[in-house]
Amino acid sequence: MDDQRWLRWTQRIQALAQAGLTYTENGYDVERYEELREISIAMMQELSGAPYPVVKELFASETGYPTPKVDVRGVVFEEGRILLVKEKSDGKWTLPGGWADIGYTPKETAVKEIREEAGLDVRADRLLAVLDKKCHPHPPESYYIYKIFIRCEQTGGRPEAGLETSDVAYFAEDALPELSLNRTTESQIRLMFEYLRDPNKAVTLD
């Protein structure tokens, strides 16, 4: 079975059910959309192996019109090497970043995440890429996600792990550590190095 294809179908069914529940005023349609949502939860449970309450809370608990979640990653270079942080959750490495917070611009989110996860003060100065997670070799994910990559320049601080990270280091392109693939892929890291070599490279959009 093509898990990625089934995942996309499941996400789409959930999104249609959520939109229907948001806008319908017909009681019979409410029942139909609720049934579609239950089907999407059952499909996601089958794909993930997670317990029903966990799937329902993470995958089908939102209200309102369904939109992608946004993940913001900060890109910092030093002497030809890229800044990565080691995640406590899986012991693997990633570009610093995380979910975009309400009330913060994308640039402010990148600055905040780098400070919290890597101990550095930075200035966000350029959008590099906006990627759709489904187009890249990440593991299957229940959320539909856009990933924003922002180039940042260090202005102060020193490398220091945070609450969610256990280590901070710079890596050369030919010496990358084991990556946290749910967050960052090798091809995405190599794309960031393309921007280091060519500062005039156009923004990458999926």
**Arithmetic mean of pLDDT, 41-60:** 84
Q: What percent of the chain has pLDDT over 90?
A: 65
N- to C-terminal Cα distance for the chain? 25
Query: In this predicted structure, what is the pLDDT of residue 63?
Result: 78
Alpha helices, H only, the chain:
3-23, 27-48, 52-59, 106-118, 186-197
Whether the pLDDT of residue 1 is over 70: the answer is no
Looking from the CA of 14 toward its CB, the CA atoms found within 13 Å total: 27
The lowest-confidence range among 63-67, 82-86, 100-104, 155-159 is 63-67
Could you give the maximum distance between any two Cα atoms of the chain, in Å? 63
In the predicted model, is pLDDT for residue 85 greater than 70?
Answer: yes
The C-alpha atoms of residue 129 and residue 32 are separated, in whole angstroms, by 39
Report the percent of the chain where pLDDT is more than 70.
Answer: 100
User: What pLDDT score does 154 carry?
Assistant: 97
Q: Which of these, 64, 65, 75, 57, lies nearest to 127 by C-alpha position?
A: 75
